[in-house]
Amino acid sequence: MRTRSGTAALAALLVIGLMGGPRASAASAAPVLYEAENATIVNGVVESNHAGYTGTGFVNTANTAGTAVEFTVDAATAGTTTLAFRYANGTSAGRTATLTVNGATQANLPFTSTGSWTAWRSQNASVPLTAGPNTVRVTATTADGLANLDSLTVGADGGGPISDPIPQAPIASGLGLVLTEYAQFPKSDPVPAPTDSRLVRHARINHLSQLPGGRRFVPDLNGKLYTLPPNGGTPATYLDVRAAVGSAFFSGRGLGSGFAFVAFHPDFATNGRFYTTHTEAFGALTSQRPDWTQSSPVIHGVLTEWTATNPAAATFSGTRRQLLRLGFGTYLHGIQQLDFNPGATPGGADHGLLYVSVGDGGRGVSDTSPQNRSVPFGKMLRIDPRGSNSANGRYGIPASNPFVGRPGVLGEIYAVGMRDPHRFSWDRGTGRMFLGHIGEHDIEGVYDVRSGDNLGWSEREGAFVFDRNDPCYLYPLPGDDATFGYDYPVAAYDHDGPPGCTGDLGRAIAGGFVYRTGSVPALRGRYVFGDLVQGWIFYTNETQMVRGGTALAPLHRLKIHNAAGNLVTMKTLAGHDRVDLRFGMDQAGDLYVLSKANGKIWKVTGTLGSAP
């Protein structure tokens, strides 16, 4: 949904054009290949010393700006068509070139590194052609000259980098949420003091859940587990995880570090058990031995079972024991969420099994560990916290897990191939589990996760090929993609900035909930989620999120109103440009919106307007 670049505006026009019915387009003609060695060459020579070219050779221009190759391309009719330049760039820097058609500048094409001079790849662009001959020219803008250029194919994408993977922008909905302030949390501080401004928040609250028939709980990454009165207001401390853990507690580097999540056992009222995950560093890195670790760990993610002596007591007292400890090589993408399936019935197969989403520790971008089933990184795990048949003897491996008994595969694994499996929830209507998965270059995806699924990271990002050597772009799926068995998002949006290469573009999905039984009828049957940085709130219709294939459900962006009914944004409600949005749901099925920026929670108390 990139709209700032000229190419994307063009792509959007093309999509609109196609939706409006058939139109004249040169793209409908069969692709035509033009060899670069037959084109007009400005300050370059034809060579054949690097294998893999087509025709009799490729063009090697001098290493200087202004070198160029000019093709004469015939179009039967006027219309927009795809150009695919086949090239090799054996250096690490891009060899940017200006693309002109009939003298008019169309784009600056990055021609990023292909890794070697014998690795050929396609650089695509979408351009308007006139009927008859057209002059298509690429001119080097850097002092390195052009990449080695093999050919130009007109009318096919050639499998090259995609500049706008999801051209459809979210649909502006006529429906607006009414948010009523519900609770204000006290200020909290990370330890050690942060150096990253994104960690300087009023309170790093990140979830709201309610026990069946009981209290509402909210964790703060900086250490405290709070309870809230039924009608909101002032939180009370139930447990200080930071104080209990002591000097090893660590929440000052990495957006997800600290006391990240809490999940209460479905039988908490009688057994007093609940589970937390938090990060440790300092002395723990040498004194504690992780069950699994990445090389040179900088934090440990710890899974703990707590047993309250009196489950009804207002504050925790009781015992705790460590179930699992993982060493992460960076501060990114650690253990994100823990949860029990609320739809599991007592005595049923899923009852009392704990789902644990484990990020790739920031490593999948450069290695294949998310696909490696002998390590827990980049996986959704499912364990029996009351069992003991795991390697460390502190928890059980459910016999119903998908890979149990396979040699070299961890029985704990429920699903694989994840980068940052950030928030998941179960639809109370259908029982489907929806995961909000935060992407690398571009794709913020909602997945319908089932036992044994493979989300594809880091071979795929969403339904696109991820190339670990390309810091910028995603690529189209190969023809034999089905043989890999990857599972793709059922809804997604993409980052909206200059294509690739710019790091954090300020987009990250905040997974939410399918709304079923809450007090706001207009939301029923809709999965409500958002972008946690921007504070956008989206919905998709649950029935339109269809598993299998690459189709995406239409995504709608909701308006936001304050309790007085005035149109606002989450940025204004949160008083900050970085909202740090999260969602929560209570037992009645009512939805809550959280912001770390000012440490507030709002309840969704109504809607204005109407969908879509």
Binding site for Ca ion (CB under 5 A): 60, 145
Indicate the residue among 63 and 271 with the shorter CB distance to ligand GCU: 63
Minimum distance, C-beta of residue 53 to ligand GCU, in the bound complex (Å): 11
> Are 277 and 218 spatial neighbours (Cβ–Cβ below 8 Å)?
no
Helix, strand or coil for residue 280? strand
Minimum Å gap between C-beta 572 and ligand GCU is 51
Closest distance between ligand GCU and the C-beta of residue 144, in Å? 6
Return the biggest CA–CA distance within the chain. 83
Rounded least distance, CB 36 to ligand GCU, Å = 12
Residue placing its CB nearer to ligand GCU in the complex, 50 or 382: 50
Q: Which is nearer to Ca ion, 143 or 564 (CB)?
A: 143
Nearer to Ca ion, 1 or 46 (CB): 46
- Dist CA 264 CA 608 (whole Å): 34
Report in angstroms how near the CB of residue 91 gets to ligand GCU at its nearest.
6
Which one, 67 or 293, has the nearer CB to Ca ion?
67
50 binds, among Ca ion, ligand GCU, none (CB under 5 to 8 A by kind): ligand GCU
Q: Residue for token digits 């990240």?
A: 260
Contact 166, 1 (CB under 8 A): yes
**Which CB atom, from 59 or from 528, has the smaller least distance to ligand GCU?**
59
Give me the 484-513 binding string for ligand GCU, x by CB under 6 A, dash otherwise.
------------------------------
Cβ neighbours of residue 32 closer than 8 Å, sequence gap 6 or more: 73, 74, 153, 154, 155
Is 79 or 110 the residue whose CB approaches Ca ion more closely?
110
Rg of the chain over all Cα atoms, to the nearest angstrom: 26
Strand, helix or coil for residue 285: helix
**Cβ distance to ligand GCU smaller for residue 63 or 141:** 63
437 Cβ contact partners less than 8 Å away, ≥ 6 residues apart: 418, 419, 420, 421, 422, 444, 445, 446, 447, 455, 489, 509, 511
User: In what helix (H) or strand (E) does residue 6 lie, and over which residues does it extend?
Assistant: helix 6-19
Smallest gap from residue 83 Cβ to ligand GCU (A): 21
Residue (145 or 158) nearer to Ca ion, CB: 145
Q: Which is nearer to ligand GCU, 117 or 464 (CB)?
A: 117
CB of 372 to Ca ion, least distance (A): 39
Smallest distance, ligand GCU to C-beta of residue 149, A: 10
Least separation, in Å, of the C-beta of 37 and ligand GCU? 14
382 binds, among ligand GCU, Ca ion, none (CB under 5 to 8 A by kind): none
Residue numbers 77-136 binding ligand GCU by CB under 6 A: 91, 117
Amino acid in the structure at residue 252:
G
Helix H, strand E, coil C: the string for 314-345 is CCCCEEEEEEEEEEECCCCCCEEEEEECCCCC
Three-state SS at 188: coil
307 makes contact, choosing from ligand GCU, Ca ion, none, with CB < 5 to 8 Å by partner type, with: none
Q: Which residue has the tokens 């995806």?
A: 445
Which does residue 602 touch among Ca ion, ligand GCU, none (CB within 5 to 8 A, set by kind)? Answer: none
Which one, 67 or 210, has the nearer CB to ligand GCU?
67
- Using CB atoms within 10 A of its CB, is residue 549 exposed (0-12), middle (13-18) or buried (19+)? exposed
Closest residue to ligand GCU, Cβ-based? 60
Query: CA 122: distance to chain centroid?
Result: 26
In 3D space, the residue among 167, 169, 90, 157 whose CA is nearest the CA of residue 477 turns out to be 157
Phi, psi values for residue 466, rounded to 5°? -100, 125
Q: Which of 96, 148, 330, 458 binds ligand GCU (CB under 6 A)?
A: 148
Work out how close the CB of 63 gets to Ca ion at its nearest, in angstroms, rounded to a whole number.
Answer: 5
CB of 99 to ligand GCU, least distance (A): 19
Q: Using CB under 6 A, which residues numbered 414 to 443 contact ligand GCU?
A: none
d(CA 242, CA 223): 5
Q: Which of 38, 43, 63, 562 binds ligand GCU (CB under 6 A)?
A: 63
CA–CA gap between residue 431 and residue 187 (Å, rounded): 37
Q: Closest CB to ligand GCU among 146 and 492?
A: 146
Q: Work out how close the CB of 63 gets to ligand GCU at its nearest, in angstroms, rounded to a whole number.
A: 5
Question: Looking at 14-131, which runs of residues are DSSP E strands?
Answer: 32-35, 40-42, 44-47, 58-61, 68-75, 79-88, 97-101, 104-109, 121-129
Binding to ligand GCU (CB under 6 A) within 22-61 occurs at: 50, 60
Buried b (16+ CB within 10 A) or exposed e, 463-482: bbbbbeebbbbbbbbeeebe
Pick the closest to residue 256 from 338, 311, 316 (CA basis): 338
User: If you write DSSP's letter for every residue of 343-366 in order, what string do you get?
Assistant: TPPTTSTTTTPEEEEE--TT-TTT
Q: What is the size of the binding site for ligand GCU (CB under 6 A)?
A: 7
Distance CA 321, CA 497 (A): 45
List the single partner that 170 binds among Ca ion, ligand GCU, none, CB under 5 to 8 Å by kind: none
The residue within the footprint of ligand GCU, chosen from 57, 94, 128, 145 (CB under 6 A), is: 145
Residue nearest to Ca ion (CB): 60
Binding partner of 108, given Ca ion, ligand GCU, none, CB within 5-8 angstroms per partner class:
none
| Closest separation in Å from C-beta 163 to Ca ion | 24
DSSP secondary structure string, 545-600? ---SSS-----EEEEEE-TT--EE-HHHHHTSSS--EEEEE-TT--EEEEETTTTE
> From ligand GCU, Ca ion, none, which one binds at residue 117 (CB under 5 to 8 Å depending on kind)?
ligand GCU
Token pair 């090799």 is found at: 88
Q: Which is nearer to ligand GCU, 92 or 366 (CB)?
A: 92
Q: Given the rule CB under 6 A, which residues bind ligand GCU?
A: 50, 60, 63, 91, 117, 145, 148
